[in-house]
Amino acid sequence: MILNRWPRIFSLISLLTLAGACGGSPSPSTPQIIGGKRSLAAPYFVSLHYAGSEQPFCGGSLIEKDLVITAAHCVVSLAHPVEVWLAMKDLDNKPQSTAVEAIDIHPLYTPDGVHNDLALLHLGPVAPHSGRRIKPIEIAAESPHAADKAIPLKVIGFGQTARNEAIFPAHLMSVEVDPIPGSTCDTLGGPYDFVRADQICAGDLAKGKRDACYGDSGGPLVTADKVPQLFGIVSWGVGCGVAGKPGVYTRVSSFVKWINEHKKPSISAPHAALPSLLYEDDFFP
Ligand code: 4AZ
Protein backbone atom coordinates (compact mmCIF):
# COMPACT_ATOMS: atom_id res chain seq x y z
CA MET A 1 0.00 0.00 0.00
CA ILE A 2 2.76 2.38 0.98
CA LEU A 3 4.77 1.55 -2.11
CA ASN A 4 1.85 2.60 -4.27
CA ARG A 5 1.60 5.93 -2.54
CA TRP A 6 5.17 7.11 -3.09
CA PRO A 7 5.08 7.67 -6.83
CA ARG A 8 1.90 9.68 -6.34
CA ILE A 9 3.53 11.92 -3.76
CA PHE A 10 6.56 12.29 -5.98
CA SER A 11 4.59 13.39 -9.02
CA LEU A 12 2.52 15.72 -6.85
CA ILE A 13 5.63 17.41 -5.56
CA SER A 14 7.20 17.70 -8.99
CA LEU A 15 3.99 19.14 -10.33
CA LEU A 16 3.49 21.61 -7.51
CA THR A 17 7.14 22.65 -7.41
CA LEU A 18 7.03 23.26 -11.12
CA ALA A 19 3.79 25.19 -10.76
CA GLY A 20 5.36 27.28 -8.01
CA ALA A 21 8.46 27.93 -10.06
CA CYS A 22 6.67 28.84 -13.26
CA GLY A 23 3.52 30.65 -12.16
CA GLY A 24 3.14 34.41 -11.80
CA SER A 25 5.73 37.13 -12.22
CA PRO A 26 8.73 37.73 -9.97
CA SER A 27 8.05 40.08 -7.12
CA PRO A 28 10.43 43.05 -6.97
CA SER A 29 10.14 43.06 -3.17
CA THR A 30 11.83 39.68 -2.74
CA PRO A 31 15.34 40.20 -4.07
CA GLN A 32 17.28 37.85 -1.73
CA ILE A 33 17.41 34.16 -0.49
CA ILE A 34 13.70 34.93 -0.58
CA GLY A 35 13.20 38.18 1.35
CA GLY A 36 16.59 38.07 3.11
CA LYS A 37 19.77 40.07 3.50
CA ARG A 38 23.52 39.48 3.39
CA SER A 39 24.51 37.00 6.08
CA LEU A 40 27.00 37.82 8.80
CA ALA A 41 29.91 35.40 9.17
CA ALA A 42 28.63 31.85 9.53
CA PRO A 43 31.71 29.83 10.53
CA TYR A 44 29.74 26.56 10.36
CA PHE A 45 28.33 27.14 6.87
CA VAL A 46 29.74 25.11 4.00
CA SER A 47 28.86 25.06 0.34
CA LEU A 48 28.99 22.00 -1.90
CA HIS A 49 30.57 22.38 -5.34
CA TYR A 50 31.30 20.08 -8.18
CA ALA A 51 35.09 20.22 -8.50
CA GLY A 52 36.04 23.21 -10.64
CA SER A 53 32.70 24.99 -10.28
CA GLU A 54 32.29 28.25 -8.38
CA GLN A 55 28.51 27.94 -8.18
CA PRO A 56 27.47 25.78 -5.24
CA PHE A 57 24.73 23.23 -5.79
CA CYS A 58 23.82 22.85 -2.11
CA GLY A 59 24.73 24.01 1.38
CA GLY A 60 25.66 22.16 4.54
CA SER A 61 26.73 22.61 8.15
CA LEU A 62 30.01 21.70 9.80
CA ILE A 63 29.12 19.69 12.92
CA GLU A 64 32.64 18.42 13.72
CA LYS A 65 35.96 19.67 12.38
CA ASP A 66 35.82 17.12 9.56
CA LEU A 67 32.11 16.25 9.37
CA VAL A 68 29.34 18.02 7.45
CA ILE A 69 25.61 17.42 7.61
CA THR A 70 23.55 18.12 4.51
CA ALA A 71 20.42 16.90 2.74
CA ALA A 72 20.44 13.37 1.31
CA HIS A 73 18.86 14.63 -1.91
CA CYS A 74 21.95 16.81 -2.49
CA VAL A 75 24.31 13.86 -2.65
CA VAL A 76 22.22 10.81 -3.53
CA SER A 77 23.03 10.83 -7.24
CA LEU A 78 26.34 12.62 -7.59
CA ALA A 79 27.83 12.66 -11.06
CA HIS A 80 31.18 14.24 -10.12
CA PRO A 81 33.48 14.44 -7.11
CA VAL A 82 32.38 17.08 -4.61
CA GLU A 83 34.42 19.84 -3.07
CA VAL A 84 33.36 21.42 0.22
CA TRP A 85 34.12 25.12 0.66
CA LEU A 86 34.37 26.08 4.31
CA ALA A 87 32.91 29.22 5.86
CA MET A 88 32.38 30.87 2.51
CA LYS A 89 30.63 34.24 2.40
CA ASP A 90 31.55 35.53 -0.97
CA LEU A 91 31.80 33.50 -4.18
CA ASP A 92 34.58 35.73 -5.50
CA ASN A 93 36.92 34.79 -2.65
CA LYS A 94 37.43 31.08 -2.54
CA PRO A 95 38.09 30.00 1.04
CA GLN A 96 39.66 26.79 2.30
CA SER A 97 38.22 23.82 0.47
CA THR A 98 38.52 20.09 0.88
CA ALA A 99 37.40 16.89 -0.81
CA VAL A 100 34.67 14.58 0.44
CA GLU A 101 36.15 11.22 1.34
CA ALA A 102 33.00 9.33 2.26
CA ILE A 103 29.26 9.85 2.42
CA ASP A 104 26.65 8.33 4.71
CA ILE A 105 23.09 8.73 3.45
CA HIS A 106 20.31 8.04 5.93
CA PRO A 107 19.14 4.51 5.09
CA LEU A 108 15.46 5.48 5.28
CA TYR A 109 15.81 8.35 2.83
CA THR A 110 13.30 7.79 0.07
CA PRO A 111 13.94 8.99 -3.49
CA ASP A 112 10.95 11.31 -3.46
CA GLY A 113 12.92 13.34 -0.92
CA VAL A 114 10.02 13.80 1.46
CA HIS A 115 11.45 12.14 4.59
CA ASN A 116 14.79 11.35 6.30
CA ASP A 117 16.50 13.87 4.05
CA LEU A 118 19.94 13.92 5.63
CA ALA A 119 23.47 12.74 4.90
CA LEU A 120 26.91 13.04 6.48
CA LEU A 121 29.95 14.06 4.46
CA HIS A 122 33.27 12.91 5.87
CA LEU A 123 35.83 15.50 4.83
CA GLY A 124 39.41 15.16 3.70
CA PRO A 125 42.13 17.01 5.60
CA VAL A 126 41.11 20.43 6.87
CA ALA A 127 44.05 22.79 7.51
CA PRO A 128 44.38 24.06 11.07
CA HIS A 129 42.48 27.30 11.61
CA SER A 130 41.83 29.74 14.42
CA GLY A 131 38.35 28.41 15.21
CA ARG A 132 36.90 31.86 14.69
CA ARG A 133 36.41 31.72 10.95
CA ILE A 134 35.68 28.00 10.65
CA LYS A 135 33.84 26.44 13.56
CA PRO A 136 31.40 23.55 13.91
CA ILE A 137 27.87 24.31 15.09
CA GLU A 138 26.17 22.55 17.97
CA ILE A 139 23.01 20.58 17.26
CA ALA A 140 20.02 21.92 19.20
CA ALA A 141 18.87 19.49 21.87
CA GLU A 142 15.10 19.77 21.89
CA SER A 143 12.03 17.75 22.45
CA PRO A 144 10.26 16.84 19.19
CA HIS A 145 7.94 19.81 19.07
CA ALA A 146 10.02 22.50 20.76
CA ALA A 147 10.69 24.29 17.48
CA ASP A 148 6.97 24.69 16.95
CA LYS A 149 7.08 27.41 19.59
CA ALA A 150 7.87 30.86 18.32
CA ILE A 151 11.68 30.67 18.44
CA PRO A 152 13.15 33.00 15.83
CA LEU A 153 15.00 30.88 13.30
CA LYS A 154 17.02 31.80 10.26
CA VAL A 155 18.03 29.99 7.12
CA ILE A 156 21.28 30.64 5.28
CA GLY A 157 22.36 29.92 1.74
CA PHE A 158 23.48 30.79 -1.76
CA GLY A 159 20.16 29.69 -3.23
CA GLN A 160 17.89 31.38 -5.71
CA THR A 161 16.88 34.90 -4.67
CA ALA A 162 13.81 35.46 -6.83
CA ARG A 163 10.67 33.37 -6.61
CA ASN A 164 10.42 32.51 -10.24
CA GLU A 165 13.77 33.32 -11.76
CA ALA A 166 17.09 31.50 -11.59
CA ILE A 167 18.97 34.44 -10.07
CA PHE A 168 21.72 33.47 -7.64
CA PRO A 169 23.58 35.78 -5.24
CA ALA A 170 27.34 36.25 -5.05
CA HIS A 171 27.08 36.65 -1.26
CA LEU A 172 25.80 34.33 1.41
CA MET A 173 22.25 35.37 2.33
CA SER A 174 20.09 34.78 5.37
CA VAL A 175 16.47 35.32 6.30
CA GLU A 176 14.44 34.89 9.47
CA VAL A 177 11.66 32.35 9.17
CA ASP A 178 8.85 31.61 11.62
CA PRO A 179 8.44 28.05 12.88
CA ILE A 180 5.00 26.74 11.93
CA PRO A 181 3.40 24.14 14.22
CA GLY A 182 3.31 20.64 12.74
CA SER A 183 -0.43 20.52 13.38
CA THR A 184 -0.85 23.52 11.05
CA CYS A 185 1.70 22.40 8.48
CA ASP A 186 0.22 18.97 7.92
CA THR A 187 -3.11 20.49 6.96
CA LEU A 188 -1.68 22.58 4.12
CA GLY A 189 -2.47 19.97 1.52
CA GLY A 190 -0.43 18.06 -1.07
CA PRO A 191 2.94 16.83 0.23
CA TYR A 192 2.52 18.86 3.44
CA ASP A 193 0.00 16.25 4.59
CA PHE A 194 2.94 13.88 5.02
CA VAL A 195 5.06 16.18 7.20
CA ARG A 196 6.08 14.39 10.40
CA ALA A 197 7.43 15.29 13.85
CA ASP A 198 10.99 14.73 12.59
CA GLN A 199 10.55 17.68 10.24
CA ILE A 200 10.10 21.42 10.83
CA CYS A 201 7.98 23.73 8.74
CA ALA A 202 9.12 27.33 8.72
CA GLY A 203 8.59 30.43 6.64
CA ASP A 204 6.09 33.22 6.37
CA LEU A 205 2.83 31.32 6.26
CA ALA A 206 0.54 34.29 5.60
CA LYS A 207 2.53 36.12 2.92
CA GLY A 208 5.30 33.78 1.79
CA LYS A 209 7.77 36.66 1.74
CA ARG A 210 10.55 34.82 3.59
CA ASP A 211 11.75 31.41 2.49
CA ALA A 212 14.58 29.16 1.31
CA CYS A 213 14.72 28.34 -2.38
CA TYR A 214 16.47 26.19 -4.99
CA GLY A 215 20.15 25.84 -4.16
CA ASP A 216 19.62 26.41 -0.43
CA SER A 217 19.00 22.70 0.08
CA GLY A 218 21.21 20.97 2.61
CA GLY A 219 21.99 24.26 4.32
CA PRO A 220 21.33 25.21 7.93
CA LEU A 221 18.21 26.36 9.72
CA VAL A 222 19.58 27.86 12.94
CA THR A 223 18.45 29.80 15.98
CA ALA A 224 18.79 33.52 15.31
CA ASP A 225 21.04 33.91 18.40
CA LYS A 226 24.56 35.19 18.83
CA VAL A 227 25.67 31.59 19.34
CA PRO A 228 23.36 29.78 16.95
CA GLN A 229 22.37 26.14 17.25
CA LEU A 230 21.46 23.87 14.37
CA PHE A 231 17.76 23.00 14.16
CA GLY A 232 17.12 21.99 10.59
CA ILE A 233 18.41 21.10 7.15
CA VAL A 234 16.76 22.74 4.13
CA SER A 235 14.82 19.90 2.49
CA TRP A 236 11.89 20.89 0.25
CA GLY A 237 8.95 23.15 -0.39
CA VAL A 238 6.24 23.77 -2.92
CA GLY A 239 7.84 26.48 -5.00
CA CYS A 240 9.54 29.34 -3.13
CA GLY A 241 8.04 32.23 -1.21
CA VAL A 242 4.47 31.12 -1.77
CA ALA A 243 1.84 32.07 0.84
CA GLY A 244 0.56 28.95 2.61
CA LYS A 245 3.48 26.83 1.26
CA PRO A 246 6.34 27.08 3.79
CA GLY A 247 9.76 25.47 3.62
CA VAL A 248 10.18 22.00 5.11
CA TYR A 249 13.35 21.13 7.01
CA THR A 250 14.77 17.90 8.42
CA ARG A 251 14.65 18.21 12.23
CA VAL A 252 18.28 17.44 13.12
CA SER A 253 17.65 16.70 16.80
CA SER A 254 15.45 13.75 15.77
CA PHE A 255 18.45 12.07 14.13
CA VAL A 256 21.16 12.57 16.76
CA LYS A 257 21.43 8.84 17.49
CA TRP A 258 22.02 8.02 13.81
CA ILE A 259 24.48 10.94 13.49
CA ASN A 260 26.47 9.79 16.53
CA GLU A 261 26.61 6.24 15.20
CA HIS A 262 27.98 7.45 11.86
CA LYS A 263 30.65 9.90 12.90
CA LYS A 264 33.05 7.38 11.39
CA PRO A 265 32.22 6.62 7.75
CA SER A 266 30.45 3.41 6.84
CA ILE A 267 30.75 3.85 3.06
CA SER A 268 34.29 4.35 1.86
CA ALA A 269 33.94 6.45 -1.29
CA PRO A 270 31.60 9.16 -2.54
CA HIS A 271 30.65 7.04 -5.52
CA ALA A 272 30.22 3.78 -3.66
CA ALA A 273 26.93 1.94 -4.13
CA LEU A 274 24.18 3.72 -2.28
CA PRO A 275 22.53 1.99 0.63
CA SER A 276 19.40 0.16 -0.34
CA LEU A 277 16.27 2.19 0.16
CA LEU A 278 13.92 0.81 2.75
CA TYR A 279 10.20 1.35 2.87
CA GLU A 280 8.83 0.76 6.32
CA ASP A 281 5.23 1.18 7.36
CA ASP A 282 6.46 2.21 10.81
CA PHE A 283 7.96 5.38 9.38
CA PHE A 284 4.81 6.48 7.64
CA PRO A 285 2.47 8.81 9.54
C1 4AZ B 1 15.41 23.22 -3.23
O2 4AZ B 1 15.04 22.48 -4.11
C3 4AZ B 1 14.39 23.90 -2.40
N4 4AZ B 1 10.91 26.96 -0.63
C5 4AZ B 1 14.73 24.34 -1.14
C6 4AZ B 1 13.78 24.98 -0.38
C7 4AZ B 1 12.51 25.17 -0.85
C8 4AZ B 1 12.16 24.73 -2.12
C9 4AZ B 1 13.12 24.08 -2.88
C10 4AZ B 1 11.51 25.87 0.00
O11 4AZ B 1 16.61 23.40 -3.00
How many CB atoms are located within 10 Å of the residue 191 CB?
21
Does 48 or 285 have the greater pLDDT score?
48
Mean of pLDDT values over 226-244 = 95
- The residue whose CA has the least distance to atom 1 of ligand 1 is 214
Sketch the domain layout of the chain as residue ranges.
6-30+42-136+257-278, 153-253
Mean of pLDDT values over 34-62 = 92
240 in ligand 1 pocket by Cβ < 6 Å?
A: yes
Specify whether 217 is catalytic. Answer: yes
- Nearest CA to 262 among 109, 85, 75, 119? 119
- The residue whose CA has the least distance to atom 11 of ligand 1 is 214
Mean of pLDDT values over 114-119 = 95
With contact defined as beta carbons under 8 Å apart, do 175 and 159 qualify?
no
Looking at residue 217, the DSSP 8-state letter turns out to be: T
Mean pLDDT for the chain overall: 81
- CATH fold of 6-30+42-136+257-278, please? Thrombin, subunit H (2.40.10)
Is a pLDDT exceeding 70 seen at residue 130? no
Q: Give the pLDDT confidence score for residue 238 in this predicted structure.
A: 96
Does 114 or 188 have the greater pLDDT score?
188
Which pLDDT tens digit goes with each residue over 61-81?
Answer: 999 999 999 999 999 998 888
240 Cα: distance to centroid of ligand 1 (angstroms): 6
- CATH fold of 153-253, please? Thrombin, subunit H (2.40.10)
Instruction: Find the range with the poorest average confidence among 1-15, 51-65, 137-151, 188-202.
Output: 1-15
pTM of the full structure: 0.83
CA 46-233-91 angle, 5° bins: 25
